[in-house]
Structure 1
Amino acid sequence: MNIIGERSIPRISVIVPAKNEEKYIGDCIRSLKCQSYPSSQIEIIVVDNNSTDQTALIAEDMGVRVIHTEAERIGQVRNAGVEDSKGDFLFFIDADCVASPSWIAKCLDLLSKHNKVGAIGGEALVRNQASKIEKFWVVSDAAKKTTMKYLNGSSMAFTREVFFKVGGFKEDINAGEDSFFANSLRELGLKIVHDSSADVIHLGYPRTIVDFFKTQFWHSSSYLRSNLGFSEYMFWFTLLSLFSIGSMAYAIFSKEIILTFVSIIMFSVGPMLFYFKKLINTETKLNSSEGLVLLFLCFVYFLARVLGLFYSLTGISYYRKKVNMNKK
């Protein structure tokens, strides 16, 4: 199915959701302006999401279109960008990411080659000179795969037709709108194809423990509303950890020593299993200092996920507050 053959040079819309990204938005736009694809056929749309810094001004000064939205949730922001776009193909990249010069051209080629393709997805790789948190946490073996279960909003591409078939991005969840979109694609019998040429470099991964904690809390705050949590093993481990924390609190209050001990073991199951998986993926030695850092991050990860899940159970709306990546 050659979806590109109908037009020699299709029109491309690149949508960049952005909130308080003055540190990275320039690098992102420069990477989009250096594409090997004809620049006359690319429109870059920065969707400014209530920024309080110079994000919008920087983007405007670089000659790209900037639209403003009062929407808080990322699905609403992405949909606002599509509504203002004119391209036959929709590309999405986060404002703190940079793409290779061949990103658009190669993704279009992939869309053309695969039958029943719904979307092309890439990974968000770590930058050079990454911090310990980035280096030992952001590890993925997805580059070895030809298909992906979910999309990563940092880099994805599909046709406008597919976007409207799915019905756009889910707007009532704080996070996971890209995963929900991917799930809808599969229900339509469409594939999600991964290729390393679609990978981007993510400049804005959390570099401090506090930022890492906030990010994981935010990701788990929509587990229930997205209706995807129940299909993910991580959700069940998080639920087990939440139950064990509740049990631990009761045991301590009741001075039940055995129950306290059992609760601690229950809470440790998820972090330890995740830790060993990370050790294998990163080829980190168990008794090394890096291994200790990774172990600590696994426990922080689960604690943040548990608190985010508990927050979602309250039914209170949680809006993402952009983590200040300028912290050292």
Structure 2
Amino acid sequence: MNKLVSIGIVVIGRNEGERLKLCLQSVRKAKCKVVYVDSDSKDGSAEFADSLGISVVRLNDDKPINAAIARNAGFKQITSESPELEFIHFIDADCELNAGWLKHALTVLTDDDKLSAVCGRLREKNVKESIYTQLCDMSWYIRPGIIDSCGGIATIKVDIFKQFNGFNETLIAGEEPEFYSRVREKGYTVRCLDIAMGTHDCAMVSFKQWWMRTVKTGFGFANGSQWGAWNKRQHSILIWVLLIPITILCGSIIEPWLLISALIFPIQILKIGIKSTIPYSFKDKLLDATFCIFAKLPQFVGMVKYQVSRFSKEQNKNIEYKA
């Protein structure tokens, strides 16, 4: 029996253009049910998917749009059209699926009743395009084995997704770890396989794009307070953005030589680089460590943005970084 007949693929996207075309070409090779969820694209994305005979769910901007809402909508559509499906693979329209991933994923999932979902190695497609694509590639790395959460690209059991009511639609970032935290609380596991899952094209070539993407991360950290997550990360951001700089500034006003204490920043970067276990060169690790520290500033902006959004009732309004 062909196991792939029991799996469907949900693609979500917004104005991804050529990236969407490459994504749909890659998933169609799997020869299984595909649904595309379009988040109010203006570039003809929905029409292109229609032309391929793919079922399209159109979301419009009369209400908030985010990845959680799109994935839930795609899951609802694909399971209503094909109620026999046992597994769903979620993928974003800026990604391409590795040809052998689904067979590996289904073999592992069917062999373990307590395993809820699996993900694999995701690589940045144009990793050498800019330092930002290099950073993105490093951020995708997950050590193989039992993990706390998959990202948005993952293969999951249908009954698990139904049992836990999908992703929290009030979260514009961090919806995956929130979902898997609920799953793990009930004794299910999540695993990263040491197998290529696909490629991602962040198209991130400017500092502004990196900044906005990192602001969104900080927004997600603050949003995590709703479900008791990332308090340590928020504390770390406040320490490095506010407490340490203010302490150095105040100290140097009294004793100018205390400005030397600003060396704590490069020292911390070196410390992170040395301790890093990601499978990259030491030069790459230092690049990652440098931006890890600098990222705390836009992350702080994101935390502030979240607090402001609570009063404007726009907590689930998406933050975009792509042109």
Q: Write the distance in 2 (CA, Å) between the matches of 1:240 and 1:166.
A: 35
Which of 51, 57, 69 pairs up with 1:76?
69
Is the Cα–Cα contact under 8 Å of residues 213 and 321 in structure 2 kept in the other structure? yes
Shift in CA distance, 312/109, structure 1 to aligned 2, threshold 3 Å: same
Shift in CA distance, 243/44, structure 1 to aligned 2, threshold 3 Å: same
Q: CA deviation at 1:242?
A: 3.7
SS of corresponding position for 1:75 = helix
Is the Cα–Cα contact under 8 Å of residues 269 and 290 in structure 2 kept in the other structure? no
SS of corresponding position for 2:96 = strand
Q: Write the distance in 1 (CA, Å) between the matches of 2:285 and 2:191.
A: 33
- Aligned residues with identical type, % of pairs: 19
2:82 is aligned to: none
Q: Write the distance in 1 (CA, Å) between the matches of 2:218 and 2:198.
A: 24
Of 240-249 and 130-139, deviating more is 240-249
1:20 is aligned to: 15
Is the Cα–Cα contact under 8 Å of residues 248 and 259 in structure 1 kept in the other structure? no
1:156 is aligned to: 154
Q: Write the distance in 2 (CA, Å) between the matches of 1:292 and 1:192.
A: 30
Which of 35, 39, 58 pairs up with 1:45?
35
Deviations 1:270-292 (A, max 9, x none): 6565444459752224xxxx677
SS of corresponding position for 1:168 = coil
Q: CA deviation at 1:183?
A: 0.8
Q: CA deviation at 1:156?
A: 0.9
Paired amino acid for 1:33: R
Output the TM-score relative to the length of structure 1. Answer: 0.80
Paired amino acid for 2:76: E
Deviations 1:79-137 (A, max 9, x none): 11111112332110111011111222221111112241111122421225532322255
Deviations 1:187-225 (A, max 9, x none): 110010111336221112523221111111112202232
SS of corresponding position for 1:218 = helix
**Unmatched 5+ residue regions in structure 1?**
none
Paired amino acid for 2:37: V
SS of corresponding position for 1:196 = strand
Q: Write the distance in 1 (CA, Å) between the matches of 2:266 and 2:285.
A: 16
**Unmatched 5+ residue regions in structure 2?**
80-84
SS of corresponding position for 1:310 = helix
SS of corresponding position for 2:18 = coil
Q: Write the distance in 2 (CA, Å) between the matches of 1:294 and 1:156.
A: 24
Q: Write the distance in 2 (CA, Å) between the matches of 1:278 and 1:119.
A: 26
Paired amino acid for 2:236: F
